[in-house]
Structure 1
Amino acid sequence: MPSRTTPPALTPAQALGGGAPTAARPRLAVLDGLRFLAAMSVLAYHYVAVNHEAWGGRTVEEFPNLQPVAVFGSFGVQLFFVVSGFVILLSAWGKDVRSFVASRVGRLFPAYWLSIALVLVLLLVVAPGSKDVGLPETAANLTMVQRAFGVQDLEPVYWTLWAELRFYLLIGVLLAVGMTRNRLVAFAAVWPVAAAVAVRSGNELWSTLLVGSDAPLFAGGMVLYLLVRERRSPTLWLVLGLNVALAGVVSGHSQSLRIENSTTLVVGPVTYWAAIAVCFALVAVVVLTPVGRPSWRWLTVAGALTYPLYLLHSSWGQWLIGQTHPHLPPAATFAVVTAVMLAAAYLAHRFVERPLGPRLRRAVARDLERTTRAVGRSPQGVRPAQAPEPDAVSSR
């Protein structure tokens, strides 16, 4: 009687096309749509909910009925962090440290440097005197790690990049020691707990190193990535629940303080817990159910606009509101400024990110390889991701 060969279990990366060439990988276009939704939510929060002088008075006076709704747009940051945990683990699985670093540099810095150049044009040429900015501050911001040296961000939205960079550093450590399924589960369970303890105890150093209140958002996204293949794993569901609970405690509370400091509204525990739960639920529905199957082109295009839109919308958007509002009603002003920001994001993606990103990635990869050879060591790679044991893998 011929023996039946059991097909090898797939890793989560292979389940999503991670083992195939880039051109053949299925893309979760709806996840791109979620990223765009997060960016637009933050834009609406900054334009309609945050109190600033661009409207000629307090924002709440222009949008008394919309501000209580737009304030929830601030949780777009938390949504993006959950998505980031999923996507970064997907992109890192099976790579070595050198490839991961090169891909992140090529992805982040072209649009980031453009945003710095444009905010300098605004602060030094278009609206001089609106904010003091010097050469040391600018030079520090070019590194994206200015907060590590106590230097102020040129744009308020840059604070999220500091959180992302620290998350990438931890992923790099995992790649260096060997990224396996079991290590990822242990990491996603222990890391956010340690981060929450550091936040609650007021230990600033460890809170910074462990990504503070945002750790459970990234960790939860990582667990959702693992659940793509092991949907019936009780361990993974328990770790996901742990991260949702911790995110509500620490990240939800931190976001409520930001809201209270920038608007006239107070968001209570029940409300911010619900907002955090919705962030996780949206990502879970997209990656674990048929909702994420559509591959509409426009969603991919919207996802491509997310990062430059987020970087460019704040200072220039408020300036444009100040210039447009005296001539148009508030709703029309919002629509016009948002359209201009979307157009700017498209131009940044088309003429900066697309041509420069791949070149920068290749250049960084070459330099890292040369550096590795110069010190006489082979690249610190990663053992191939171990497939989960057959009895731990559920059928899809």
Structure 2
Amino acid sequence: MFWIALTVAIALGAGLAVPGLAIPWRDRLLNYTLVQRFLGAANADPVSWTLQIELQFYVLVLLILTRCRITDRVAVIAANAWTAVCLIVAAIARPHTLGVEPQDVEVLWKILLNLLLVEWGPLFSAGMMLLLARETGRRLPALPFLLAPVPDAWLVRGTRYALCVAVVVAIFAAVTLPRRPIPLLASRPLLWRGDRSYSLYVAHLVPIMALLPILDPALGRGAAMAVLLVGALVLAAVYHRVGEVEATRWMRRALTALRDRSAHPLDRARPAGVR
């Protein structure tokens, strides 16, 4: 689904000459790798910078899952270690990052911060511990992890950013820790929106950047933003249906067929239920 949204973003950015998205075609194509930041390429869609961080996190989790048996104890130890490393590196790197735009940070520090996910590790750890607390009912061990993202954010980005992170952590804790579901969050509109949250995330910004200068003079800023918001929701619904639902079904069928074709001939010939 990301590649569908990226293709639309590139088409809009190049076709309408959107300010801020006039990047070389080499950079646009490198965005399809998901690791364009490591390759020194600019983002074709400004929101796509987060996807590489997600990819790094998934690789890290995969390594943990394949190297050791995950228990609650292992998860807590891993979260503690990761958070501690992030805080230490953030403190050391503070003179090189505070007040500096992320893209302007010195290369060596940028590589170190990106590889260790220094800015995001404490948030990931806090999320894992909150979910673990929800599953086990033991909330006290999760509390230190709720505090760690705030000083980490302060070390890397400063006070204003740390306050924003504190609000995010507080909201996540308020949603995760209660034993009973929050009725508002179970409402149909929010469930619909939640199912399409990723699609909306990758669908909204470039169309707004491309079309707002066109609609604003004719409709006014408020009406233009309302139209674009509705359009973003519609586009997100399309992305969700095509890229997340239908494409997932197709890939699952294709992978299942590939697995069946690569099975041992004796396994294919053996009747179902016979071992």
TM over 0.5: yes
Report the CA distance shift for 1:128/1:215 in structure 2 as closer, same or farther (over 3 A).
closer
- Paired residue type of 2:149: A
Equivalent AA in structure 1 for residue 229 of structure 2: T
2:170 — aligned with what? 281
Would the aligned equivalents of 2:53 and 2:117 in 1 still touch at CA under 8 Å?
yes
Whole-Å separation in 1 of the counterparts to 2:19 and 2:167? 41
- Distance in 2 (CA, whole Å) between partners of 1:350 and 1:193 is 41
Separation of aligned partners in 2, 1:329 and 1:228: 46
Q: 1:197 aligns with which of 88, 99, 123?
A: 88
Asked if structure 2 preserves the Cα contact closer than 8 Å seen for 1:166 and 1:210, the reply is no
Residue aligning to 1:214: 120
Q: Does 1:151 align with 2:32?
A: no
User: What is the CA distance between 1:181 and its match in structure 2?
Assistant: 1.0
1:301 aligns with 2:192: yes
The question of whether the paired residues in 1 share the 8 Å contact of 2:90 and 2:156 is answered with no
Q: 2:147 is matched with which residue?
A: 245
Instruction: Give CA deviations for 1:27-72 in whole Å, capped at 9, x if unaligned.
Output: xxxxxxxxxxxxxxxxxxxxxxxxxxxxxxxxxxxxxxxxxxxxxx
How far has the Cα of 1:347 moved from its partner? Answer: 1.4
Matched ranges for 1:1-16 at <5 A: none
Letter matched to residue 138 of structure 2: R
- Counterpart of 1:232? 138
Question: What RMSD over aligned residues (CA atoms) do the two structures have, in Å?
Answer: 2.9
Q: Report the identity percentage.
A: 26
Query: Normalization by structure 1: what TM-score?
Result: 0.56
Q: 1:129 to 1:207 in 2, by over 3 A?
A: closer
For residue 175 of structure 1, report the CA deviation from its aligned partner.
Answer: 0.7
Q: 1:318 aligns with which of 209, 224, 244?
A: 209
Letter in 2 for 1:250: D
AA in 1 matched with 2:44: L
Contact preservation (8 Å) 1:141, 1:154: yes
- Alpha carbons of 1:369 and 1:133: their partners in 2 closer, same or farther (altered >3 Å)? farther
1:351 is displaced (CA, Å) by 2.6
Question: Cα–Cα, structure 1 residues 179 and 341, in superposed 2: closer, same or farther, change >3 Å?
Answer: same
Contact 2:21–2:44 at 8 Å: present in 1 too? Answer: no
Describe how 1:59-70 pairs up with structure 2 within 5 A. none
5+ residue gaps, structure 1, are 1-109, 257-268, 374-396
**Aligned-pair distance for 1:131?**
4.1
Q: Which residue of 1 aligns with 2:182?
A: 292
Q: CA deviation at 1:365?
A: 7.5
Q: CA deviation at 1:369?
A: 10
Structure-1 residue corresponding to 2:54:
164
How far the C-alpha of 1:123 sits from its partner, in A, is 2.6
Shift in Å at residue 118 of structure 1? 0.7
TM-superposed CA distance for 1:228, in Å, is: 0.9
1:363 CA displacement: 4.5
Cα deviation digits, residues 71-103 of structure 1 (max 9, x gap): xxxxxxxxxxxxxxxxxxxxxxxxxxxxxxxxx
By how many angstroms is 1:221 displaced? 0.2
Deviations 1:273-301 (A, max 9, x none): 44323222222222221243663333221
C-alpha spacing 1:329/1:204, structure 2 compared with 1 (3 Å): closer
Question: Which residue in 2 is equivalent to 1:389?
Answer: none
Q: Which runs of 5+ in 2 are unaligned?
A: 94-108, 265-275
Aligned length: 246
Equivalent runs, 1:1-396 vs 2, <5 Å: 110=1, 112-127=2-17, 131-177=21-67, 178-202=69-93, 203-232=109-138, 234=140, 236-237=141-142, 240-241=143-144, 243-252=145-154, 254=156, 269=159, 272-289=161-178, 290-292=180-182, 295-361=186-252, 363=254
TM-aligned CA deviation for residue 359 of structure 1: 2.6
Aligned to 2:103: none
CA distance in 1, matches of 2:260, 2:74: 27
Note closer, same or farther for the CA distance 1:149–1:299 as it changes in structure 2 (3 Å cut).
same
1: CA distance, partners of 2:169 / 2:28: 36
Question: Match for residue 272 of structure 2?
Answer: none
2:166 maps to a residue whose letter is A
